Structure formats: structure tokens, C-alpha cells
């Protein structure tokens, strides 16, 4: 069998695999294993459109039609994040607020890279996950620019910390049975408003027990943030993509809006690979406008930072 014949035989199999994975990704409500397929919509879309073009070029119309149909299915899921909403711009007198979030990675020791990027971005609020004692000590200089600080006092990969230029109070809270400890901070802004920041880092969907705890934590996050008055946001490495079942449920139940719908997708993990998925997120209340949203530079972590520019 020639190489071309083997390729012609394998590509329909690949097409069937991508189509099946596309369908499995819609069944996450009933199975956490199937929900894992939802995270790779962009990969499916690219793969299927390339297959459709290949099949069409070889006049294999049925296969081309199948690939094109499932490409459109994936594109329809991605479309709200590719076409930014045309919401009214914020008033000229609105407060501009820059937020920087990064999952540091417990094994990472590139302290200077993180400090340098924070200095370059000059955000108003800094939120860091996997904050170990080593990282906490290395980031001591942040207090000069960010005198207000709240952390959850966990010294391992569950550690979280939030720094602010503006006066801030807060507490460490557990949301959901078996949940990782989150940080609830209230930032007093120059506009006399109080911004609530719920910073969280649920378990990854690696096994059924962790998924159950992730589900409970995100449900509790949605319930708690609803009780907070005024402008508010949920921020963190949520270990879920925006088209997964658990994330869509969080967005619906919390009443918040995914900033990706206005600021675009930031593919943050894994940093070391060319194909990444967006699992670092910020959801905001309706009075907050998204002016910009992007991934930051590599810092030695397996995540790229998330940089947000907001107004309200």
C-alpha cells in the first residue's frame, strides 16, 4: 500500500474521531469524562475545516460535507467568543482598572520574571495562585506599590493572594465541601464604590472525586457572589474552558458575564505547548465594561498570566 493510499484511508478515520469528539463535548452535563472533550473546540474546528478542504479537493463530497457540517457545529459554539459584543462604551469619567492574574506554579522559581511583568503591566490589582512560602517571600517588594494584601494562608499549591493599590479588606473562605480555600476581597475605589473580588482555584478535572469537588466549589462561588452588592468579579484558574458544562453553569448561575465575550479568548495553558486552552478566567457584573483582555508573557509557569482592563 502506497503512502498516499494509507493517508486516504486514515483521514476519514480522523474525521470520524473529530466528529465524535465534537458530539461528546455536548454531553458534559451527564459525564465528567465526556465534558473533557468540550475543552478542545478550537482544535476540532481547525482540524475539520482542513479535512473538509482536503476532501473537497479530491472530490470526496460526502466526507467533505460531513467535515464541514461538524466544523460549523464547533464554530457556532465558539462564535460568541470570536465576535465581540457591540455594547455601549463606558462613560468618559469611568474609573479604569487593570487586573493581573497569574498561576505561578509551585515548582517555578522565576521570581524576577513575575516581578518584572507586574512592574511592566502596572496593574491596580494583582492576584496570584499557587502562592507558596517561597513565592510569598520573593514577592515581598510588591508591598511598596501594593500596600493592601489578602491571602488564604495556605502554603502549597492551594495558596492564593490578592494585592491592591487601593484600600482593601478581605478574608479566606471555603466555598463547597472539599473545596480549595478562596479569597474574598473588597476593594475601596476612588469612586467611593466597593469592588468585590472573589479569587478562586478549584480542583482540576483529573478524577471523579476532584470533579465532584470542583462542581461543588463553582456552585458555591456562584451562590456566594450573588449575595455581594455592587460591582463584582470572579477571577482565577478555574480549570475549565468557557464552553465546558461547569463553566457555562457558573456563568448562568452567578449572573455574571464571561469577559471573553467582550475581550476575546486568551489561551493560557499549557504555556509550553503550541496548542493551548483558556482555563484562566474573569467573570464580571453587568456594570463593568471590558476594555481589554489578553494573555501575558511567559513567566516560567505552565500558565500564561491573564491581563484585564476594566471600566465602570
Same domain for 110 and 74, yes or no, is: no
Single residue among 82, 105, 126 that ends a domain in this structure: 82
The helix/strand/coil state of 4 is helix
How long is the chain?
312
- In this prediction the pTM is 0.93
The answer to whether 58 and 64 are in contact (CB under 8 A) is no
Q: Model confidence over 25-38: pLDDT tens digits?
A: 999 999 999 999 99
Single residue among 27, 58, 82 that ends a domain in this structure: 82
Q: Model confidence over 211-258: pLDDT tens digits?
A: 999 999 999 999 999 999 999 999 999 999 999 999 999 999 999 999
Same domain for 198 and 270, yes or no, is: yes
Instruction: Please give the sequence-ordered ranges of beta strands (E in DSSP) within 145-220, or none if there are none.
Output: 148-151, 160-164, 168-174, 181-188, 194-199
Q: Domain range holding 75? A: 3-82
Closest CA to 136 of 159, 118, 113, 158: 159
Same domain for 193 and 107, yes or no, is: yes
The answer to whether 140 and 149 are in contact (CB under 8 A) is no
pLDDT of residue 154: 74
Number of structural domains the chain divides into:
2
pLDDT value at 102 more than 90:
yes
**In-domain check, residue 55:** yes
Grid coordinates representing 171?
478574608
Single residue among 22, 54, 82 that ends a domain in this structure: 82
Same domain for 62 and 176, yes or no, is: no
Same domain for 75 and 103, yes or no, is: no
Same domain for 50 and 160, yes or no, is: no
pLDDT bucket at 64, cuts 50 / 70 / 90: very high
Same domain for 231 and 277, yes or no, is: yes
Grid coordinates representing 227?
449575595
**In-domain check, residue 37:** yes
Helical H runs in 227-279? 245-254, 260-263
**71 φ, ψ (degrees, to nearest 5):** -60, -45
What CATH code is carried by the domain that includes residue 140? 3.60.10.10
Amino acid at each position: 500500500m502506497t503512502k498516499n493510499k494509507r493517508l486516504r484511508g486514515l483521514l476519514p478515520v480522523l474525521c470520524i474521531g473529530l466528529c465524535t469528539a465534537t458530539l461528546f463535548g455536548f454531553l458534559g452535563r451527564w459525564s465528567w469524562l465526556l465534558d473533557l472533550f468540550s475543552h478542545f473546540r478550537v482544535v476540532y474546528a481547525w482540524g475539520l475545516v482542513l479535512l473538509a478542504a482536503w476532501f473537497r479537493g479530491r472530490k470526496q463530497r460526502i466526507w467533505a460535507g460531513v467535515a464541514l457540517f461538524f466544523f460549523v457545529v464547533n464554530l457556532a459554539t465558539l462564535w460568541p467568543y470570536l465576535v465581540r459584543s457591540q455594547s455601549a462604551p463606558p462613560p468618559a469619567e469611568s474609573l479604569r482598572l487593570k487586573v493581573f492574574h497569574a498561576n505561578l506554579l509551585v515548582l517555578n522559581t522565576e521570581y524576577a520574571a513575575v516581578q518584572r511583568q507586574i512592574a511592566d503591566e502596572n496593574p491596580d490589582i494583582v492576584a496570584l495562585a499557587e502562592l507558596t512560602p517561597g513565592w510569598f517571600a520573593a514577592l515581598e517588594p510588591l508591598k511598596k506599590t501594593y500596600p493592601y494584601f489578602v491571602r488564604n494562608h495556605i502554603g502549597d499549591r492551594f495558596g492564593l493572594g490578592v494585592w491592591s493599590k487601593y484600600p482593601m479588606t478581605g478574608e479566606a473562605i471555603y466555598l463547597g465541601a472539599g473545596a480549595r480555600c478562596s479569597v474574598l476581597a473588597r476593594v475601596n475605589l476612588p469612586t467611593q464604590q466597593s469592588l468585590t473580588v472573589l479569587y478562586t482555584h478549584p480542583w482540576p478535572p483529573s478524577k471523579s472525586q476532584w470533579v465532584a469537588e470542583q462542581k461543588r466549589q463553582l456552585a458555591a462561588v456562584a451562590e456566594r457572589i450573588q449575595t455581594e452588592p455592587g460591582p463584582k468579579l470572579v477571577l482565577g484558574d478555574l480549570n475549565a474552558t468557557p464552553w465546558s458544562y461547569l463553566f457555562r453553569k457558573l456563568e448562568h448561575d452567578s449572573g455574571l458575564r464571561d469577559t471573553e465575550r467582550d475581550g476575546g479568548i486568551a489561551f493560557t495553558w499549557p504555556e509550553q505547548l503550541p496548542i493551548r486552552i483558556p482555563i484562566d478566567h474573569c467573570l464580571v457584573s453587568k456594570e463593568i465594561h471590558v476594555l481589554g483582555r489578553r494573555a501575558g508573557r511567559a513567566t516560567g509557569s505552565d500558565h500564561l498570566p491573564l491581563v484585564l482592563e476594566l471600566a465602570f
